[in-house]
Structures are given as C-alpha cells and as structure tokens.
Structure 1
C-alpha cells in the first residue's frame, strides 16, 4: 500500500500590479488569462483581483509555487500571455478607431457596397 504524500508547501511567491486605464480593460485581461486551468495545480496557484485606483484600475496578480523553477515558468508564461492580450486589445482598439474615422469622414456605406471607387 502506497503511503500518502504530504502536500508540498507553496514557499515561493511573486506579486504584481498591472496598471490598466479602466476597469473594463483590467477585467478583460483577467477573464482572458483565467480561462484555462493551471497545468500543475499541485505546484502553482495563481490569483487575480481588479482594484480601482484614482488613476484607473490595477490588476493585482499573486503567483505561489512549490519551487523556484515552477514560479519562474509560471511567471514567464503569464507575462508572455499578458503581453499578447494587451497587444491584441491595442490592435483591435486602433482598428476600431480607424474604422470609425473612415465612416465619419466619408459618410455611411450603402448596403452591399464593398468600398468606394476612386
């Protein structure tokens, strides 16, 4: 009969504060990054909370891990994913602003039209 293993304590931690311009942005980042389950929940635990500040919002992230290696890997993956989400949100925000400026400048497009002839 196998002996029951004791839980390894989560001795290593890192806490980050990611500034965001508003609560919608912070909440979107949080929701996108927390869709997937942790690959090694016995070794890494991540939590996040959105807090209002006078200058906008902050996404507080806390990562705990059993080893420094797990902490480093989890932190690196989190930062890469966060950068991708922010770049994607920025690209879509820019595209939306460009689309609005074209529509405002040229007037509404006719239904079924694909563009304007020179």
Structure 2
C-alpha cells in the first residue's frame, strides 16, 4: 500500500528527506496502522510528500519536504499520530506471543486464592452490626 500526498509536479530533487521504519508485532498490525494513518493528509501537500509502504511487519514512511522545518513539522505530526495508533493497538491488539490465561486458568487461580484466604468468606460484619461496611467505627 502506498499513498502519495503531493500531486505530481515539480521535481523533488534537492528536497530534504527522511525514512522512518516502524516495527509491529505482525504484518497485519503494520497494515492496520498504515490504514489508520493514511487517512490523514499533509496540510502542506504542495511542499510535503509522504509515502507509506508495508514491508512484512514494518511500516515504512518516506517523507520529502522543501525545507527542514516543514520536514520536522510533518514527521512530528506523523509520530504523534502513530504514537496514538500504537497505544491503541497495545490495548486492543496486543502482542500475539503474549500468553493469555484461559477461563480455566483464571478459575484455578481464583480457587487457589479462596483456599489460601480461608474459603472466600470475604469481609463479614460482627453480630452486633458493627464492622466493615456498617458505617460505624469499631472500637
């Protein structure tokens, strides 16, 4: 997938360039990130060119700009956007190699915690109604 932000026009010879290579957990994650940031167009499309490519699990972003200042602004804006994408993916599309507990694992841990803590009775009120949760101070 590639996206061109600037119309074909003057040669980009002499423009300032940078290439960013951002690794992801899987090729699918890299494709998803590419699609998420591809919708954002460059504000200075005449003076800034951006191309996105996915190479296996790497998002490759190539920038070219007429000035160093525009290049810095464009890449800073992009890095801010990709940071949001990465943080979102960390929450909703975690590393597939991370071990995730099954329901059976969680039930086993819960059972063991109840056994160790006395059978899972939890917090109980005293017979006189005083104690945790009663709203009255216990002396």
Q: Which runs of 4+ in 1 moved over 2 A?
A: 6-10, 100-106
Greater fraction strand: 1
1:23 aligns with 2:47: no
- Counterpart of 1:67 in structure 2 is 67
Distance across 1 between alignment mates of 2:91 and 2:26:
17
Query: Aligned-pair RMSD on alpha carbons?
Result: 2.7
Gaps of 5+ in 1: 1-5, 107-117
Aligned length: 95
* Higher radius of gyration, 1 or 2: 2
Q: Give the structure-2-normalised TM-score.
A: 0.58
Q: Give the structure-1-normalised TM-score.
A: 0.68
- Counterpart of 1:91 in structure 2 is 91
1:34 aligns with 2:38: yes
Distance across 2 between alignment mates of 1:70 and 1:8:
17
- Greater relative contact order (Cα < 8 A, sep 6+): 1
Preserved contact between residue 8 and residue 66 of structure 1 (Cα < 8 Å)? no
